[in-house]
Structure 1
Amino acid sequence: MSTAKPPMPHPTEAGNPPPVSSGLDRLDDATGLKNLQQLIQLRWIAVIGQLATIAVVNFGFGIALPLQQMLVVLSGLVLFNIISQLRWRTRRRVSNNELFLALLVDVAMLTAQLFLSGGATNPFTFLYLLQIALGAVLLQAWSVWTMVAITTACLISLTVFGRPLPLPLDPENGLTSPYMQGILVCFVLNAGLLVTFIMRISHNLQERDARLASLRQRAAEEEHIVRMGLLASGAAHELGTPLATLAVILGDWKHMPTFTADPDLQLEISEMQAQVLRCKTIVSGILLSAGEARGESSEKTSICTFLDELAEEWRSTRPVPSFSYKNQVDQDLPMVSDSTLKQMLCNVLDNALEASPTWVGLEAALDADTLTLTVTDRGPGFAPAMLAQLGKPYQSSKGRLGGGLGLFLVVNVARTLGGSVAAHNRPEGGAVVTITLPLTAITLGKDAAHAG
């Protein structure tokens, strides 16, 4: 299939494209929640690691620790993590200040544990670097530098006020030294946690950036649709006057003696009048779509009636030798006859006819809460590059300058209705375009149906 005349977008979407800022807010919400979840998981690992370290040092190395006080601090960390978990379940946006506060609590808990277990001589003081690294990834610049200042102040305080443990500082003994073993464990723990959680957080940020790029692309495409809608609307207004003039002239000619005496001229004038009337109908449809597609000119109908009338009208106005139409909608629901939807479907059918002049197929089916429209042809099919860029502007097999807007607008109209468009080539030859639309976007509610 190739692209043909473009349908007009839904007027609400064309006139007021959704702002990118609202989509960005949703992305920031999701990313902040994911990052908070990473901190919660990291904190549970810290709780388990502290319990294991306290047990090994106190009972394994025989170094007396203030167990009661350290367990109180650990209980405070557990309580804070439970509160953080409950906060995460609210699914509300996580701000920079909240993440900053959470990391400050972690720093405070770490400082308290270090103070109770050797102060600055504790090899696990290097865990401050983990908090700074996480802050550099998660926080704004002022928050990160504040974290650096606070952790530096904490380390200085441990140096001044901390009480060293009765632990021999004998690095000359290599790995047999408990101090060197502690430094090694701290390094491995720092490295492992940094790699694991910074990779996860970076992945969250990359997902946000990818979704943001998609939103920006969508906004650009919808802005393109707005420009196309304004152009089509302006052209339709300009064409209205000459078409009306032609209709009047042809009406006068039909009653002039010179033409009434010649049956052949009468037939030609009638054909010209029919073509002018068709042009006026097309112009009226463009203006309707550019203005109020569901306004006063719209009519209440049903899905089956809408599809049957559309198929019959398309068959009678196009030179198609064979048109296979299958309506498998078993539940006929009320809807509004929408010219935008009609033009979108006619566009795909016209594309199929241009690619396959001898046969075109249309099938409609209802599945749960979704209407599926499938257009099939027996033409050469889509080129792989076109399938990969389906819905992108100026992707056409016709080679015309400015071509390729048909399927671009079809995809965007379907998307504004909450649906989607997919395409693939048939093994036996030809192409299939599938339009999927949610019923909520095209049908009337029960109250509206009864009122109508």
Structure 2
Amino acid sequence: MPESNVGIWRGQERSSWIRLRTLILLRWVAIAGQVGAITAAQQMYHLQIELLLCYLAIGISVAVNVSAMFLFPENKRLSEFENFLMVLYDLLQLAFLLYLTGGLNNPFALLLLAPVTISANVLGLRAALIVGGTAILLVTLLAQFNLPLRTAEGFILRVPDIFIFGNWAAIIIAAVFMGAYSFRINSEMQTMSEALSATHMALSREQKLTDLGGVVAAAAHELGTPLATIKLTSSELIEELEDQPELREDAELIREQADRCRDILRDMGRAGKDDLHLRQAPLSAVLREAAEPHMQRGKTIHFSAEPGEGADPQQPAILRLPEVIHGLRNLIQNAVDFAEANVWVEMTWTDDEIRVRIIDDGHGFPTQVIGRIGDPFVRRRSGQPEAHDTQDNTDRPGYEGMGLGLFIAKTLLERSGATLSFFNGLDPYKTVPIRPDQSGAIVQLVWPRSKIDAQQGEFALPLGANRPIKA
């Protein structure tokens, strides 16, 4: 396809490309319906129709279908522009048949809505608007210009003008409504699909990092003793002479420990290790781990932990779930990005729930989007100038430009059982006391303790020694 034709569609393409064979099959169904309708009108009701022109229009569709079947492979998928041309052709062909058969006096005029709905579902906004506008123009023309339907006796079949106007208005309204509805629903479904795909990728990445950390910790744990022994015996050998037979035993010990190191590394590569102590950590340790990548970004992160009224003063140990760590990390990143100088991470707990609040001293969430925070691709964070959102923030790793950070965080944390609330420190309707300097955005997370506590509840981890590695 020439570059000039493709250029106008760049940036508008949608991910759901349609197979050519699918449109060919649908067109065969349309052709069969058109032939059946014309045959019934002539044979059963003896209407006078321009059969030559009607069959010419249908024959062109047959020729297009047959040519496409032979010229393109079965798995051919149409681009945005090719889909647009196919739908536009079907619209024009149907409009021409309606022109030959009474225009809006023909009850089949409602079929003009089909190409509009298809374009809204499979094409980008620009292409859908062109198809919808063309359909509205054709309906308007068909209301005034058409070849009338005549009976065998020569009488013209037509409905009163008021019904013609009603049909015209109904088709226009239906085209606008169905097109807008289909486009909007399909766009939201695609947006959510892309956002969930990004969330899955983020969770997979965090899972790999967590597994890697466990392997490294297990390696350090298992190899500590043999490596220390090797170091000790090596030091002794350095002090002794090589020809002294009493060192033979030390040399054998070195070889034995080296073999042990080799076996451990081999077994770790095969089976890994399920270290119970690596799957849980104190609440503050998990939050510090989540905040660690953002500790040196020029903002001060303050941590505080205190029990709720009547709660055990000992800090709870929670599950080190990848979704929890990654979700908290995204929320802390967002707070650091927009804070003036300080971010507060506050932890409280009771016997029934664990609560975390992440607060910054920035401008807060804009009131016009605070109700939609957590939806994918909601990008504006503060009421600062537009340049604040489009500058090249090299200190914002992750999903800059996609608007997925809060969506991913919300999705992952809700998956772990958390309930998230977003509000501002200056909100007069806030239900929690906030210090005057904590005037920015606030994210509050509340977990039922049974969902995340590693020592009690339905997901509590079993206690005991680590299971040995088995090759």
Normalised TM-score (structure 2): 0.41
TM-score by length of 1: 0.42
**Higher normalized helix content (fraction of residues):** 1
